[in-house]
Structure 1
Amino acid sequence: MTGPLVSALTTPWPELVWLLVALCSAAAFYGLVAAFTMPRLGTASLVREAARRARRAQPVPVSVLKPLCGAEPRLYENLATFCEQRHPRFQLLFGVSSPVDPAIAVVRRLKAAYPGHDIELVVDPSVHGSNLKVSNLINLAARARYDAIVVADSDIAVEPDYLEIVTAPLADPEVGVVTCLYSARSIGGFWPRVGALFINEWFAPSVRVAHSTGSRAFGFGATLALSRATLERIGGFAALKDCLADDYLLARYARDHGLATVLAPVVVATDVIEPTFGALWLRETRWLRTIRSVNPAGFASLFITFTTPWLVLGVLGYALLAASGGMGTCAATRTALAALATATTGGIIARLVLHVRASGSWGTFWRDLPLVPLRDVLLALQWLAAAFGSHVIWRGVRVSVANPEAGETSAMARPANSRRPAVEGPDGR
């Protein structure tokens, strides 16, 4: 059985073996960078310092826009965290498109629990484009009273200093959008745990690596804070009404006007609730397919971030090369064996460190450790599946990820020479 495999690996051995060495080394190096990049983002000390700076800067009033659709698990608990803010003056706007949406009862319960808060429920079926979430935001924005605006997904939970921290950078006229990285909490059984690893041990480290290299090409639905002036400058939410990638494009439109995207130091929490393999597969292949649409070159290079498959190939390559009897035949073979051993060992260490950093506790580390190989292999398979196809399933609807022509509103609102794909960036949402 090993004869054909050994032959395939060693003939022509220089090209195949050194390609395997290079790929395993690249995967190990990426794993090490991902494991150790931006270690303080979201830590208590960093958040406290950011909150102190924000309070000294005298927070401005802010309108929070929360588009809702259905009663998700923990919806009340997540929305309640926005009512617990230390910010001195904020308005909470919750929007639904249907008068029978189950989220209405949750908002009414929230209003009863926080009678002194400025909470408004907006029920408006008006549709302004193909993106129903953006239609909801357009309806909500009409009720926003303040010049600072924060948009956040319904499944986000935040700490009490959140609003002060994410709105403070807007005092700088060079800042367009402030966004937040997020960590995942599994709600339910086995597959939500696997889904949480997607965010905590692949997506979030990827963002940290990109940020550390100077990239600011992101915008996450977990948080998008901007001024009313910036929103009007890009054409309002109407500029996004026919785009699947509204979160990513909102930040990108602002960058097209020379305004910076800022990653806030606070990390918010999001829920992973997909109860079955099928539901999780659809959601994560949607994320990956939209990455492919917004950044084909970046999508093509993602294969190097799937650590476990490369570790397996490295071990297999080492075993086959050693079994070929070439261990002592030449210096090149010995060098290749040493390089494979080093890359594989480094990759294992990096993957374990990344898992430790993402777990938060030793109990979680040991509980989810057996899921790590499954998570990495599943991610590689999803990447292969996402390399093909032109549609995604979003809230049960088949949606094209093609780049439609921008409407007149957004065309008038942005520089004529800008080019933007109308798909979502890699935010994992």
Structure 2
Amino acid sequence: MIAAAQIASLIGWLVLALAAVGTLYWAFATWVLARFLQQEKPAAARFDAVTLLKPLYGSEPQLEANLASFLRQTHQGPLQMVCGVQRADDPAADVVRALQARHPQARIDLVVDPARHGANAKVGNLINMMARAEHDVVVLSDSDIAVEPNYLAQVLAALERPGIGAVTCLYHGRGDGGFWSRLASAGPSYQFVVGLVFGKVMGLAEPCMGSTIALRRSTLQAIGGFEAFADVLADDHAIGAAVRAQGLGIAIPPLLLAHASAEQTLTQVWRQELRWAATIRALAPAGYAGSLIGFPLALAMLGSLFHPLPCLYLAAGAFAVRLSTKRVVDRHAGASTAPWWLLPLRDALSLSVFVASYFVRVVDWRGTRLRMEDDGQTVSPAENFSS
């Protein structure tokens, strides 16, 4: 019979091996990311008629500034922004009215419509908003995204490429709510974007994200409109899949948008990240399981409980690689998302969320509790939140 000490030793060596493989993977993935972002180049101003869709829910620390960044574009064509809320007393509506007052020259429409069309409230909001959309090119983006003035020029140039049906965008994190929001924002900056670009460049993934989904109205109609996604949990992923089913590709221009995090407590961070993780696990279970090697620093720290000396050496190597990732992202983002000393805590949190995601059936989306159905991709309202 194998003694408990031997089992512990074997587990330790397994964790050590995963950390070693993860460190090598992370070094290569960081190099791939750096090469990808170096492709960025100025794009000529465009004259396309564009409708920006901004589904809103509640106020956020810099909501007006985020929305205003979409109005300060080098774009030369007609530009309409449609903002939508589902309650007349939603504080986001007051933010939009303030935006209208500060930008009287801009075309900003506010839609207040309580009609529900399915379990996904964001998609229901989009369905209501589309009645006011006037232009051929539709650009959907989440309320917590901020962009630079060359954003539309780059997105529209990518959408014009042959065989492209939609454009999505990478993003880095920006903490707007203090310590916990900075910890949360380090995830998109120093983990998510690296794995996403690696998967895209290596042909392992075809992401489509709520940071931006730009497509022509004819493409949206061909995939069934937003109505086709009213009960889908990962609506952005599902829209991308539907576009690809039309024989069209999804382009990612080499620029980083800013994704604002406003979480003020660990509980808020945990629930948000658990929803993301559970969704990704449902969509791509094999790839998600393989992403375990994406936490080399946390694995090395865990392995030090079994084999302290070799794991500490490996942890130092993993930490050096993670610092190189931080330098690459911060350079292209133009700002530091979080201090270097948060990296071990960030990686430990990510590993904890990864493990917990295998035990989740109910997720929280901005106060709405949704139960994941058997396919893990569609949702229905849930009575109680439970992780």
Same-fold status (TM-score > 0.5)? yes
User: In structure 1, what is the equivalent of residue 164 of structure 2?
Assistant: 175
- 1: distance between equivalents of 2:222 and 2:129? 18
Give, as a single letter, the amino acid of the residue that structure 2 aligns with 1:80.
A
Q: 1:356 to 1:127 in 2, by over 3 A?
A: same
Aligned residue for 2:70, secondary structure, equals helix
How many positions carry a matched residue from both structures? Answer: 374
Please give the alpha-carbon distance, in whole angstroms, between the structure 2 residues aligned to 1:162 and 1:67: 19
| Residues 106/217 of structure 1: CA separation in 2 closer, same or farther (3 Å cut) | same
In structure 2, the residue matched to 1:68 is 56
Give, in angstroms, the shift of residue 157 of structure 1: 0.7
Hey, what does 1:265 align to over in structure 2? 254
Match of 1:207 in 2: 196
3-state SS of paired residue (1:51): coil
Distance in 2 separating the partners of 1:31 and 1:94: 39
The answer to whether the aligner puts 1:184 opposite 2:173 as a matched pair is: yes
The code of the aligned residue for 1:266 comes to: L
Query: Which amino acid in 1 is paired with 2:126?
Result: L
CA distance in 2, matches of 1:400, 1:151: 25
1:210 CA drift (Å): 0.9
Residues 249 and 422 of structure 1 are in contact (CA less than 8 Å); yes or no, is this contact kept in structure 2? no
Secondary structure of 1:214's aligned partner: coil
Structure 2 SS opposite 1:153 = coil
What is the correspondence of 1:312-391 to structure 2 with a 5 Å cutoff?
A: 312-313=301-302, 319=308, 346-360=317-331, 368-391=339-362
**Consecutive unaligned residues in structure 1, runs of 5 or more:** 321-336, 405-419, 424-429
Contact 1:311 1:348 in 2 (8 A): no
Structure 1 residues 367 and 274: CA distance shift in structure 2, 3 A = closer
Distance 2:13 2:182 in 1: 36
Q: Given residue 36 of structure 1, which amino acid in structure 2 is its aligned partner?
A: W
Superposed displacement of residue 313, structure 1: 4.9
**TM-score (norm: length of structure 1):** 0.80
- Residue in 1 that maps onto 2:183: 194
Partner residue of 2:223 out of 234, 237, 252: 234
2:75 paired with 1:87: yes
2:285 corresponds to which residue? 296
CA distance in 1, matches of 2:273, 2:258: 18
SS at 1:39's partner residue? helix
One-letter code of the match for 1:230? T
Moved more, 307-316 or 275-284: 307-316
Determine the C-alpha separation between the residues in 1 that align with 2:90 and 2:378: 28
Tell me if structure 2 keeps the 8 A contact 1:63–1:146. yes
Residue 397 of structure 1: aligned partner: 368
Distance 2:175 2:93 in 1: 25
CA deviations over 1:379-409 (Å, ceiling 9, x no partner): 11111111112110111122122256xxxxx
Larger Cα-atom Rg: 1
Secondary structure of the structure 1 residue equivalent to 2:263:
coil
AA aligned opposite 2:340? L
Residue in structure 2 matched with residue 326 of structure 1 by the alignment: none
Q: Shift of the alpha carbon at 1:76?
A: 0.7
Alpha-carbon contact 2:19-2:297 (below 8 Å) kept: no
2:233 match: 244
**Mapped partners of 2:338, 2:95: distance in 1:** 33
Partner amino acid, structure 2, of 1:65: L
Could you say if the C-alpha distance between residues 355 and 68 of structure 1 is closer, same or farther in structure 2, counting changes exceeding 3 Å?
same
Corresponding letter in the other structure for 1:217 = E
Q: TM-score, normalised on structure 2?
A: 0.88
Deviates more, 1:135-144 or 1:340-349: 340-349
Quote the offset at 1:135 in angstroms.
1.2
Give the distance between the partners of 1:393 and 1:345, measured in 2 at CA. 36
* 2:29 pairs with one of 17, 29, 34: 34
Kept in 1: contact 2:185–2:337 (CA 8 A) = no
Partners of 1:189 and 1:16 in 2: CA distance? 37
CA contact (8 A) 2:119 2:370 kept: no
Distance in 1 between residues matched to 2:56 and 2:49, nearest whole Å:
23
Q: CA contact under 8 A between 1:66 and 1:94: conserved in structure 2?
A: yes
- 8 Å Cα contact 2:182-2:338 kept in structure 1: no
User: Which residue in the other structure is 1:78 paired with?
Assistant: 66
**Offset at residue 368 of structure 1 (A):** 2.1
Amino acid at match of 2:254: P
Letter of the structure 2 residue corresponding to residue 143 of structure 1: R
The AA in structure 2 aligned to 1:375 is: R
CA distance in 2, matches of 1:388, 1:241: 25
For 1:20 and 1:155, how far apart are their aligned partners in 2? 36
Match of 2:383 in 1: none
Structure 2, unaligned stretches of length 5 or more? 380-387
Q: In 2, distance between residues paired with 1:207 and 1:397? A: 27
Matched with 1:59 is 47
The one-letter amino acid of 1:399's match is L
Q: Distance in 2 between matches of 1:228 and 1:366?
A: 35
Residues 41 and 267 in structure 1, CA contact (< 8 A), matched pair in contact too = no
Aligned-residue CA RMSD in angstroms? 2.6
